[in-house]
Amino acid sequence: MTDFRVRTAQVSDEAEVTLLLEESYGKLLPAAYGAEPTKDLLPVIARAKPELLASTTYYVAANEQGHLVGAGGWTRERPGSGEVEVGVGHVRHVATHPDWTGRGVGRALIDHIVGQAKAKGVQRLECYASLNAVDFYVRLGFMQLRSIDIAVGSDAVMPSLLMERIL
- Output the domain CATH number for residue 16: 3.40.630.30
Domain contains 122? yes
Q: How far does the chain reach from its first CA to its final CA, in angstroms?
A: 26
- Give me the number of domains the chain comprises: 1
Residue closest to 25 by CA, chosen among 3, 14, 5, 40: 40
Q: What is the pLDDT of residue 83?
A: 96
Radius of gyration of the chain (CA): 15
In a domain, 71, yes or no: yes
Does any domain span residue 156? no
Q: What is the pLDDT of residue 137?
A: 98
User: 117 in a domain, yes or no?
Assistant: yes
What residue type is assigned to position 3 of the chain? D
Side-chain-facing half-sphere of 145: CA atoms under 13 Å? 13
Question: Which residues, 6 or more positions from 61, have their beta carbon under 8 angstroms from its beta carbon?
Answer: 4, 5, 6, 68, 69, 70, 71, 96, 100, 105, 108, 109
Confidence tier at 152 by pLDDT (50, 70, 90):
confident
Domain contains 51: yes
Mean pLDDT of 95-115: 97
Residue 56 lies in a domain: yes
Q: Does 146 map to a domain?
A: no
What residues have CB less than 8 Å from 86, skipping those under 6 apart?
A: none
86 is in which domain, residue-wise?
A: 4-128
Residue 162 lies in a domain: no
* pLDDT mean over 60-82: 96
pLDDT computed for residue 153 by the predictor: 78
